[in-house]
Amino acid sequence: MINYNIILNAVGQHLFLAYSALIISIIIAIPLAVLSLYNRYLASILLLFANLIQAIPSFAVVAIVVPLLGIGFKPAIFAIILRIILPLFKNTFTGLRDVEFIYLDSARGIGLNQWEILRYIRFPHAFPAIFAGIKFSAVIANSVAILTSLIGAGGLGELIFEGLTNFNIPKVLTGAIPAIIIAILLDVSFSLIEKRITLKY
């Protein structure tokens, strides 16, 4: 009754969806954060949006993408990115920005330029915050990826929804259980890495 192929397929789609979104978001968010360090205007706008948009339910975000981009894989990735890019940005930005004045002052004092300060002082300092942001976003990406099956992106959510419509509980579980396992694995592995990183810094 349980077709492992289908499940594996779904898991694959799910992971691909979530992680491509995550990687794209990281690639965009970090440069944005760096830019915002030097442009107050950009920083305040982005921070404002970050706080506002976080309050909006994921479901609504996923739905709104449809009139704009249609259904399917691409809109789904877009929806996930929308959801996670701002927390990533915020964490990276505050991590880079909130270095204690003493360190910046001595760095400037010994003659480092802005780029070197960025690379050798700010980024190392920001590492824990950036990592926390990535962990947070990975969890959310995982969640939203399930929802996106509603708009035709496949994945584990699809199994769940099909099961729901047919009142087929076992089918629902075939989608739900892997999702839970992935979530727990995510959390555990990220926490382990987090511990090692915070020990280092």
Q: Which residues bind another protein (CB under 8 A)?
A: 52, 54-61, 63-64, 66-67, 71, 139, 142-143, 145-147, 150-151, 157, 160, 164, 169, 172, 175-176, 179-180, 183-184, 186-187
Closer CB to another protein, 60 or 102, in the complex: 60
Closer CB to another protein, 52 or 192, in the complex: 52
Closer CB to another protein, 118 or 173, in the complex: 173
The residues, any chain, with a CB within 8 Å of residue 16's CB and separated by 6 or more, are none
The least CB distance from residue 15 to another protein, in Å, is: 13
The residues, any chain, with a CB within 8 Å of residue 191's CB and separated by 6 or more, are 135
Burial class (CB in 10 A: 0-12, 13-18, 19+), 17: buried
The least CB distance from residue 54 to another protein, in Å, is: 7
DSSP state for residue 83 in the 8-state scheme: H
DSSP state for residue 154 in the 8-state scheme: -
The residues, any chain, with a CB within 8 Å of residue 75's CB and separated by 6 or more, are 65, 66, 68, 69, 148, 151, 153
How far from each other are the two terminal CA atoms of the chain, in whole angstroms? 50
The CA radius of gyration of the chain, in Å to the nearest whole number, is 20
Closer CB to another protein, 27 or 193, in the complex: 193
CA–CA separation, 56 and 147 (whole Å): 15
The answer to whether the beta carbons of residues 77 and 21 sit under 8 Å apart is: yes
The least CB distance from residue 101 to another protein, in Å, is: 19
The least CB distance from residue 84 to another protein, in Å, is: 14
Closer CB to another protein, 22 or 145, in the complex: 145
The least CB distance from residue 117 to another protein, in Å, is: 30
Closer CB to another protein, 79 or 96, in the complex: 79
The least CB distance from residue 88 to another protein, in Å, is: 17
